[in-house]
């Protein structure tokens, strides 16, 4: 078979189920079309840390991929190429590899020139980054620098602009529904509120869709601040009309109580993309519900079962959708590469596979259309006008 070139593939940001099937899809198709495939380790870090010396040990930075490796990996969750939140355009001096410290001396450095040099050294003709808007925003930077990039969207929050679906979202929704239904037994046994904190920094899809499917009575999302008294009143109402005497609310990690100036964070440390780790709003909501419940429950306090799902919905094997969509995205990427097309994001739009300019990555976050899909008075989804809606109800507009 005639050698057509070399494709580099990497995964960045948080892990999700479906990454390994995407890596497999790209690799299998590329090999059969005559390409060599290099797996870049630890996201963009592999292209920063690479040492341009044939005698150097770069096994932690890059590996050549074959069918047997990717076939085995595709049956599991996570990413066997590993991941990181490395941002080469804003790399702290502390994170610089030793061989670059003389070249870049600022407290925070743009090491893109080293990344470009390493891409050329590896002989990469096309680069396929799989990630959320942070990872893909740097992929777009490389595209602007002349690298041929075809991007694949991934994130549990499903908030990458330009696509209705991101790898990992289906499993996130599936697991959220399963875990919410599992936790009901404890809430019902003790006649309590069940407060479940779920993913969603800017977009509330991972709370809204499970609530639509019946996993919760109410949900609060980042797109609109909520009144905790209103939520308490509704939760008491839901509990007292339930024969099992409990009620459930899904709380997006980026949701804010009215009057909050910022989201709830687990600490002040920020990653290279400027994000502090979210968490804690679920606990805050639980405490407020317990404290305010007597006001709406004849003076009697209602206790709370509080659970932050976190890694429980992002670990383990992908569901069927997160096997099928990554397979298709990987083949869409190869379709573009074979046509000599780059600077594109593969996507789904109204249930149809396609692609769009990577420029969309620099646009606003994709968020829930509150007016159309969310009832702010009742703190729950709207179920109207679903005729001709896509599979996951909300599209990328």
Catalytic residue positions, numbered? 157
Facing residues of 17 across strands?
none
**Residue 66 burial (CB count, 10 A):** 13
Question: CB of 167 within 8 A of CB of 328?
Answer: no
Burial 341-353 (b: 16+ CB within 10 A, else e): ebbbbbbbbeeeb
Structure tokens at 27: 């690799």
**Beta strand 380-381 pairing with 374-375:** antiparallel
**Residue 130 burial (CB count, 10 A):** 32
3-state DSSP of 112-155: HHHHHHHHHHHCCCEEEEEECHHHHHHHHHHHHCCCCEEEEEEC
Give the C-alpha separation, 273 to 291, whole Å. Answer: 37
Task: From residue 89, give the alpha-carbon distance in Å to each of 86, 143, 381.
Answer: 9, 14, 39
Q: Given 3-state DSSP classes, what are the helix, strand and coil percentages for the chain, each rounded to the nearest 5?
A: 35, 20, 45
């Amino acid at each position: 078979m005639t050698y057509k070139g070399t494709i580099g593939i990497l995964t960045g940001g948080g892990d999700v189920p479906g990454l390994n099937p995407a890596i497999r899809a790209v690799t299998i198709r590329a090999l059969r079309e005559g390409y060599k495939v290099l797996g870049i380790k630890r996201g963009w870090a592999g292209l920063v840390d690479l040492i341009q010396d044939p005698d150097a040990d770069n096994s932690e930075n890059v590996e050549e991929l074959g069918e047997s490796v990717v076939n085995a990996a595709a049956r599991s969750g996570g990413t066997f190429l590993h991941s990181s939140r490395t941002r080469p355009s804003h790399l702290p001096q502390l994170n610089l590899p030793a061989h670059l410290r003389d070249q870049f001396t600022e407290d925070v450095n743009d090491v893109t020139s080293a990344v470009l040099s390493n891409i050329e050294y590896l002989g990469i003709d096309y680069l396929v980054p799989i990630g959320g808007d942070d990872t893909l925003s740097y992929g777009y930077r490389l595209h602007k620098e002349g690298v041929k990039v075809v991007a694949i969207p991934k994130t549990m929050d499903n908030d990458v602009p330009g696509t209705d679906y991101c790898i990992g979202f289906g499993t996130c929704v599936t697991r959220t529904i399963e875990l919410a239904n599992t936790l009901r037994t404890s809430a019902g046994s003790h006649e309590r509120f069940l407060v479940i904190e779920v993913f969603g920094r800017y977009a509330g899809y991972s709370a809204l869709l499970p609530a639509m499917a019946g996993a919760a009575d109410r949900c609060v999302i980042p797109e609109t601040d909520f009144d905790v008294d209103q939520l308490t009143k509704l939760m008491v109402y839901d509990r007292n009309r339930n024969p099992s005497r409990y009620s459930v609310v899904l709380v997006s990690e980026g949701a804010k109580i009215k009057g909050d100036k910022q989201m709830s964070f687990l600490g002040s440390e920020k990653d290279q993309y400027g994000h502090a780790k979210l968490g804690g709003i679920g606990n805050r909501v639980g405490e407020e519900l317990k404290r305010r419940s007597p006001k709406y429950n004849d003076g009697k306090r209602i206790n709370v079962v509080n659970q932050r799902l976190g890694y429980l919905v992002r670990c383990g094997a992908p569901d069927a959708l997160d096997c099928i969509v990554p397979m298709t995205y990987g083949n869409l990427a190869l379709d573009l590469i074979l046509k000599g097309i780059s600077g594109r994001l593969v996507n789904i739009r109204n249930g149809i596979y396609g692609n769009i300019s990577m420029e969309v990555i620099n646009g606003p976050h994709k968020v829930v259309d509150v007016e159309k899909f969310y009832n702010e008075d009742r703190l729950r989804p709207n179920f109207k006008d679903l005729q001709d809606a896509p599979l996951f109800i909300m599209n990328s507009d």
